[in-house]
């Protein structure tokens, strides 16, 4: 696992910020479709449909597939890490897009060497595009709490 993480981190360092933002957007879209179908279809089928329907070439062995699959596989653990940080909010009441962005960004904070401020800023940008009007502020606050508790969360994961 550590060697895969190191390879992914090395690969990310050679990719431009624009490409990483595009990749994060694709991952978000895959997570959204999976959630919309109540996780009853495969990541492979979603990516295949994206590729055919939008004339894309997202590789089935690439980062979008691997990251989306990892977030989905670990979603209960990630959600359990986020829930205690929600003051006066029930996890179930958070909008779908906001919940998915929090889940994805928390996974990235826990599983990559990308600096926390970059992960949080990218999540804020996703929230501005896809979440409710002011949800980006909520995303910022929750992810900042995740960042503060990162060592503790990594130990319990």
Q: What is the pLDDT of residues 24-48, one digit of tens each?
A: 999 999 999 999 999 999 999 999 9
Res 2 pLDDT > 70:
no
Domain map of the chain by residue range?
Answer: 2-156
The least confident of 60-69, 72-81, 83-92 is 83-92
pLDDT in tens, 52-67: 999 999 999 999 999 9
pLDDT tens digit sequence for 3-21: 454 445 444 445 677 888 9
Q: At what angle do helices 96-111 and 135-148 cross, to 10 degrees?
A: 30
Higher pLDDT, 6 or 106: 106
Which two three-digit tokens encode residue 110?
Answer: 């826990």
**pLDDT greater than 70 at residue 97:** yes
* pTM of the model as a whole: 0.87
pLDDT of residue 106: 97
Cα(first)–Cα(last) distance of the chain, in Å?
14
CATH number of 2-156: 1.10.940.10
Instruction: Return the DSSP state at 84.
Output: G
Could you say which DSSP state residue 131 is in?
S
Per-residue pLDDT band at 68 (split at 50, 70, 90): very high
């Amino acid at each position: 696992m550590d060697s895969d993480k190191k390879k992914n981190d090395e690969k990310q360092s050679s990719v431009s910020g624009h490409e990483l933002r595009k990749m994060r957007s694709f991952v978000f879209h895959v997570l959204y479709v999976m959630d919309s179908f109540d996780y009853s279809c495969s990541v492979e089928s979603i990516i295949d449909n994206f590729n055919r329907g939008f004339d894309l070439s997202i590789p089935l062995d690439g980062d979008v597939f691997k990251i989306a699959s990892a977030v989905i596989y670990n979603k209960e653990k990630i959600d359990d890490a986020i829930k205690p940080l929600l003051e006066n909010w029930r996890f179930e009441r958070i909008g779908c897009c906001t919940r998915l962005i929090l889940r994805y960004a928390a996974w990235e904070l826990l599983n990559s060497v990308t600096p926390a401020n970059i992960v949080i800023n990218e999540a804020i940008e996703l929230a501005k595009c896809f979440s409710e009007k002011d949800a980006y502020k909520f995303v910022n606050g929750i992810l900042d709490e995740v960042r503060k508790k990162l060592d503790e969360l990594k130990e319990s994961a």
